[in-house]
Amino acid sequence: MKTYPIDFVDFISFLMCMYIRKITRKKDGKTHAYWALVESRRTERGPRQHVVAYLGEMDAAGRLGVQKAAEGRLDHQADLFENLEPEWVEVNVRGVRTERVRDFGDIWLAFQLLKRLGLVAFFHQVIPAGREKIPWADLACILAIARFCDPKSELYIAEHFYGHSALADLMGIPNDLVYDNRLYRALDQLLPHKEALEKHLKQRLGDLFNIDYDLLLYDVTSTYFEGDAQGNPQAKRGYSRDHRPDCKQVCIALVVTKEGIPLGYEVFDGNRHDSTTVEEIVEKMEARYGAADRIWVMDRGMVSDENIEFLQQKGRRYILGTPKSLLKKFERELLSGDWEEINEALEVKKCASLEGTEETFILCRSAARKEKEQAMLERFSCRIEKELEKIQTSCQKGRLKNPALAERRIGRLLERNSRAARLFDIEVLRNQADGRLSILWRKVTDRQSWQQLTQGCYLLRSNIADWSAKELWHAYIHLTDVETAFRIQKNDLVLRPIWHQKQKRVQAHILVCFLAYVLWKCLAQMCKNSGLGNEPRKVLDEIKRIKLTDVILPTKKGVEIRLPCVSKPDEHQRILLQQLGLKIPARVTPNHKM
């Protein structure tokens, strides 16, 4: 084969947009390897390759030099030796070393989830590029991935997480360009697109997992602040689900499907009662997604006469929990038979409304719940009696002389143990002989009987007439999915406490937590559909053990080859990835977005 010399400078410039191809020829019974400089062109019929020049035979060192010269190629260009047979160079084995071990498996998985949900393209579409050095869309991806993999502050992301992870390799953004202030401003850029983001996710998740939005579950939680949050008018003290009444908080209202897939959320003032949020949330969801034949499921904290009247408008259907005090109206049904067994530990009964309305009530009796309530009642009852004995001792010894003070102590005692307070009748008397106080108490028998009858029982109400009691109960019990969502966001994704002080930053922080939870649920659905159960945490912990490291190979020619290599998945990891339909790369091209 005839070869032609080319100028080396021109050759290097060609390499910036071309690649070399290996060509084998058989001659005189021997196989010879030659190399050609090939240019990829776009034509009307698609991409075509054009041979620019034949380079003839090249040794390993020559090819290595060509490859090193081409390392500055653009992101979209193919690797020079991609999909070619292994090539060999002489390496000083004693000088081989590894550098910069970085987290890879969980980072790469989160990036795949973002792409599967179409969020990478969505961010670039809705957040317009300006004069910023790093696109805000890329920083939004970094925030979501960091919250999913290692949920901590933006300062921690900038100073620790980003540099110790493979994000710089995957995103093509150097470590020194990711700092806390830039991440804070990225929060500001992301927040205005909350509604568009929720709509996008609803459509995308529905397409990916064939999700129905006919049953919507609604609940409210709270999350508290560290600091005074003086710059946030929504930060107020109220009923704390986190048992931190000393801290200001905001309330978060979340709507999810029966699979636990989030549909949307809103942030309310920290002192707002759950029941006052129902009308606003329902109308927002209907305005955004339509008022199609949906069923709303809510717990007893949402129930009020106004809310029931509102839900009955326009033919809305609902399944609601009710206050336990309403059980008194169904005492006859509690005592009678005809219970329908759901399982060994649960039975239900469908009852007509006593007020002649079209509503249906469902009595539920749980053996596990009965055992729990009975244990709690006994514990609180014992506490009350022990404290009453202490107060009585103080009275007998003359240390407690003021009846008003004694009554206040008893009042605080009953308040702390309210579950058992109604079982006791307590009197404070003064002995006429010596003037000392005396505490008398007794347990009320009929109240004890009622407590025993209603232990483990709760009541649901619905305006769905054509469902059985079993079907209504099954729909209501999906509310545990909302509680699970709150638990994951608070514990696994560290929603609480909130360190941001400004209102917009707080809302953006909650939005990033919402995004990370969507990634979590996407992984959970993938695990479920792949037969891996519904434990994404275990899968994530396994994949997280896969690392990225730089392998440094000093060659005989004095050139060091730096190979970013991904640790080979072990057998368990390989099976998990195969079940999920994911293939982890063996190599990561420097500064090349995956």
> Does residue 166 sit within a domain?
yes
What pLDDT score was predicted for residue 85?
59
Residue 203 resides in a domain:
no
Distance CA(470)–CA(346), nearest Å, equals: 10
Q: Do 44 and 112 lie in a common domain?
A: no
Instruction: Look up the domain containing 55 and give its range.
Output: 8-89
Q: Do 569 and 524 share a domain, yes or no?
A: yes
In a domain, 204, yes or no: no
Q: Describe the chain by its helix, strand, coil percentages, rounded to 5.
A: 45, 25, 30
Same domain? 84 vs 165: no
**In Å, what is the CA distance from 24 to each residue of 37, 187, 220, 451?**
14, 55, 69, 89
**Residue 569 and residue 256: Cα distance in Å, rounded?**
35
pLDDT of residue 63: 57
pLDDT score recorded for residue 32: 72
Same domain? 216 vs 238: yes
Order the strands of the 457-462 sheet from edge to edge.
262-269, 249-257, 215-224, 295-298, 317-321, 457-462, 360-366, 346-352, 340-343
Is the preceding peptide bond at 128 cis, omega within 30 degrees of 0?
Answer: no
Give the model's pLDDT for residue 75: 39
Non-local (6+) Cβ contacts of 327 within 8 A are: 334, 363, 454, 457, 458, 459
Is 2 within a domain?
A: no
Distance of alpha carbon 390 from alpha carbon 392, whole angstroms: 5
pLDDT on residue 556: 83
277 plus 353 within the same structural domain: yes
The C-alpha atoms of residue 20 and residue 80 are separated, in whole angstroms, by 7
List of long-range contacts for 116-125, beta carbons under 8 Å, 24+ apart: 116/208, 116/522, 117/201, 117/204, 117/205, 117/208, 117/518, 117/519, 117/522, 118/200, 118/204, 119/144, 119/200, 119/515, 122/197, 122/200, 123/190
Same structural domain, 14 and 149 = no
Does the residue 393 lie in any domain?
Answer: yes
Q: Tokens standing for 189?
A: 């850029």
Total domain count, the chain? 4
Task: Please name which of 495, 397, 537 lies closest in space to residue 109, comparing C-alpha atoms.
Answer: 537
Q: What is the pLDDT of residue 1?
A: 45
Q: How many Cβ atoms from other residues are within 10 Å of residue 180's Cβ?
A: 14
CA atoms within 13 A on the CB side of 143: 32
Indicate whether 589 belongs to any domain.
yes
Distance CA 150, CA 250 (A): 23
State the 10-residue block means of pLDDT for the chain, 594 residues long: 45 49 73 72 64 63 52 40 62 89 96 96 92 92 96 94 93 92 96 96 93 91 91 93 92 92 94 95 90 88 92 91 91 88 92 84 93 92 94 91 92 92 91 86 86 91 92 92 86 86 94 95 94 90 95 86 91 94 83 43
Q: Which residues of 290-332 form beta strands (DSSP E)?
A: 295-298, 317-321
Per-residue confidence (pLDDT) for residue 60, from 0 to 100: 56
pLDDT attached to residue 53: 63
Phi, psi of 271 (to 5 degrees): -105, 15
Q: Does the residue 426 lie in any domain?
A: yes
Same domain, 307 and 400: no
Report the pLDDT value the prediction gives residue 45, as an integer from 0 to 100: 62
If asked whether residues 220 and 352 sit together in one domain, one would say yes
Q: Are residues 576 and 496 in the same domain?
A: no
Same domain, 331 and 374: no
Contacts of 106 (CB under 8 A, 6+ apart): 148, 149, 540, 543, 544
Q: What is the pLDDT of residue 7?
A: 47
CATH of the domain at 480: 3.90.350.10
